[in-house]
Amino acid sequence: MSENSVYHDYDVPQNLEFKTIDIVRMGGLKCSCLLDAKYLDGLFEAPNRIIQVAVELSFSVASNEILVQGRVNGKREVQCARCLKMTTQDFEEEFLETYSNKQEIIDIMYVVRQTLALSEEIRFLCKPDCKGLCPMCGQDLNVAPCHCEPENLSPFAALKGKFK
Ligand SMILES: [Zn+2]
Ligand SMILES: [Zn+2]
């Protein structure tokens, strides 16, 4: 983050659990770090996954509370809900949280995980007009049409195809 930060020597805890007393003593903190992927395991529904996350944090100390501004950015891999193709995309999210300075630990990992979980697109499409896969033969219809009979394309067609 800021190259001029007075606190650039502060050792950012890998699990992002900051001791409130440290933050108060320093009168605030600006820091950034790359997150170890093990903290993000299972956050997205497979096969979607987070590949890389960097976190930037700014702690401001007020009389009774600590304000934390955070920016989370990185790369994730998501699957198209129609054609099942995997796409790698960049993302960036921000959050703003207030903590009482009476609590012992400021658990930023919790907020980061929550922010990332909320950012997951439930039905991601590789493009708005993705044609998807043929439910009968599995052909990617974005690439080429298939020769299945159109009348077979009922909601049950996919099932029928499986038990042939
Ligand atoms: Zn698609
Ligand atoms: Zn087909």
At residue 158, the pLDDT reads 59
Distance, CA of 43 to CA of 154 (rounded, Å):
34
Using CA atoms, how far residue 11 sits from 22, 129, 148, in Å, is 11, 47, 61
- Give phi and psi for 87, each to the nearest 5: -125, 135
Looking at residue 149, its pLDDT comes to: 77
Model confidence pLDDT, tens digit, residues 52-82: 999 999 999 999 999 999 999 999 999 999 9
pLDDT of 11 reads: 86
- Cα(80) to ligand 1 centroid in Å equals 5
| Distance between Cα 36 and ligand 1 center (Å) | 30
The ligand with the least distance to the CA atom of 147 is 2
Mean pLDDT of the residues in the chain: 88
**How far away, in angstroms, is 67 Cα from ligand 2 center?**
56
